[in-house]
Structure 1
Amino acid sequence: MQPYYFYRVNNWGHILNLLHKSLYAEEMVCAMSSELFHIPKTKNLKGNREMHNHLVPASYHRVTAVGSSQRLVNGEQQQSIVETLVACIKNAENQDKKVSEGLITMEENASPEFKTFIKVIIKWQEQAESYLKQAKESLRTMGVSVPAESDQQNGDDNFY
């Protein structure tokens, strides 16, 4: 990565805004998919529990990315914060792949009256992923080194 002085002259607020939007969409995915555990017809819906095994760490990484970008907006300048931000974006992306697979499994196994509801969850997940990708691309535009997809071994890697 380039020295921090390069990043300091850029606007971290834009990154923070995109990550907030990604986190908001993730909140909707969490709230809606968790609700299915409390509806008798969907409490054991195939794919939901497996999807949550990846949704929980994806959420953690989004929260950590937001916190890291907030620290940068507030004027902190440690390179380790930038590295944490990048790692958490990559980790969230990795988990998102399995979240999306789980949502597809849920849609395939849901009774007809719940398919539209699950499609809405899928749309929120797509938004969460889109804003995260935009944040990653904005970091690259700022000169921050972000590993490419081909740098990953598999979807379970953590780039702490």
Structure 2
Amino acid sequence: MHFHYLYRVNPWTQILMLLQRSLYAEEMVCAMSSQLFHIPKTKDLKGNSEMHNHLVPASYHRITAVGSAQRLTNGEQQPSIVETMTACIIHAENQDKKVRDGLKIMEENATPDFRPFIKLIIQWQNQAESYLSQTKTALKSMGISFPIESEPQSGEYNVY
């Protein structure tokens, strides 16, 4: 009975769930860090604008990866969908490194009353990265390979 159950479960469902959790955490990072622009005391917080230069493409790549996983869960099978998803995971990881750098600058420059809030944003960022990493591990266990993990040149990022 258990043997047949494994064949009925769509392996992409787990991938979609992990990516959705990463995106949810990213939504919290976006909402909370953007909120700082609307608080007089933190509207010019050092590091926030720079961090957002990487948070925007990181979010785009997560959204594209989730959409790709949704298509695979729905039964589409084109290899280019998998390639899109894996490339976007790599691009999101690369952008996450710069997001993390920006969050550290924000934490260092925040007034003591805002440091706990910045630490909470960092915890959400940790979750976003952790679920992305779990997704990558799960895909590799399914035999999916990843493109070469290199930093984009001259600060540019690919939007595919």
Q: Is TM > 0.5 for Structure 1 vs Structure 2?
A: yes
Per the normalisation by structure 1, the TM-score is 0.89
Q: Post-superposition shift, 1:153?
A: 4.3
Structure-2 residue corresponding to 1:27: 27
Structure-2 residue corresponding to 1:73: 73
Give the aligned residue type for 1:134: Q
Structure-2 residue corresponding to 1:132: 132
Within 5 Å, which residues of 2 pair with 1:11-160?
11-147=11-147, 151-153=149-151, 156=155, 158=158, 160=160
Calculate percent identity across the aligned residue pairs: 70
1-structure distance, mates of 2:91, 2:68: 14
Runs of 4+ aligned residues of structure 1 deviating over 3 Å after TM superposition are 153-160
Per the normalisation by structure 2, the TM-score is 0.89
Larger deviation, residues 132-141 vs 9-18? 9-18
1-structure distance, mates of 2:98, 2:158: 14
CA contact (8 A) 1:107 1:115 kept: yes
CA contact (8 A) 2:94 2:151 kept: no
CA contact (8 A) 1:96 1:129 kept: yes
Q: Post-superposition shift, 1:147?
A: 3.6
2-structure distance, mates of 1:80, 1:42: 43
Give the aligned residue type for 1:76: E
1-structure distance, mates of 2:76, 2:147: 23
**Gapped regions of structure 1 (runs ≥ 5):** 1-8
2-structure distance, mates of 1:105, 1:90: 24
Q: Post-superposition shift, 1:97?
A: 0.3
2-structure distance, mates of 1:153, 1:135: 20
Deviations 1:59-91 (A, max 9, x none): 000000000000000000100000000010000
CA contact (8 A) 2:37 2:43 kept: yes
2-structure distance, mates of 1:63, 1:27: 10
| Matched residues, number | 150
CA contact (8 A) 1:90 1:159 kept: no
**Gapped regions of structure 2 (runs ≥ 5):** 1-8
CA contact (8 A) 2:10 2:73 kept: no
- Secondary structure at the counterpart of residue 97 of structure 1: helix
